[in-house]
Amino acid sequence: MTTPILPTKEVKKAATAAPYNTKVARFFDSLKENKLTGTRCVKCKATYCPPRADCNKCMSSEVEWFELSGRGKLIAYTVVYVSPETWSKCVPYAVALIELEEGPKILAALRDVKQEDIKVGMPVRVVYFETPEGHTFYGFTKA
């Protein structure tokens, strides 16, 4: 069966909840350019995507932005059959934990992948889509 993974028209409320007015708003600006960006701690080199304004490991606020390749591998996933009301028209859909090439792990929806084709360890790549409000958001698909 094919999972109708997060069709654009169904993400309306979730998209409006995105933190566009934060220290890491630049992340959403880069998504508009179809670029996946993160932050790297200048002191301990820990990497974050989605970005963090402060390092979670050494608490430094000295971070630098960098662009990620958008490639990674699927390390875990779950298929959601009972969702929050906002996503109820999307079920079933898959939410995956992706380990990006540069190290950070990111949670994202899997898009356009048949449920039986989802395999832990499979290579994935980022895809971008536009929400009804005109915001660009990310998901991942089979590479």
Element (H, E) at 74: strand 71-80
Q: Does 42 bind Zn ion (CB under 5 A)?
A: no
Select from 24, 55, 68, 95 the one that contacts Zn ion (CB under 5 A): 55
Return the percent helix, strand and coil in the chain, to nearest 5.
15, 40, 45
Which segments of the chain does DSSP mark as H helices, in order? 12-16, 26-32
Select from 14, 18, 46, 118 the one that contacts Zn ion (CB under 5 A): 46
Q: Given the rule CB under 5 A, which of 10-18, 58-66, 80-88, 119-127 is the region that contacts Zn ion?
A: 58-66
- Number of C-alpha atoms within 13 angstroms, CB side, residue 127? 16
Q: Which residue has the tokens 């971070």?
A: 63
Q: How many CB atoms lie within 10 A of CB 119?
A: 12
**What's the closest the beta carbon of residue 41 comes to Zn ion, in angstroms?**
3
Select from 25, 53, 58, 76 the one that contacts Zn ion (CB under 5 A): 58
**What's the closest the beta carbon of residue 58 comes to Zn ion, in angstroms?**
3
Q: Does 63 bind Zn ion (CB under 5 A)?
A: no
Binding site for Zn ion (CB under 5 A): 41, 43-44, 46, 55, 57-58, 60
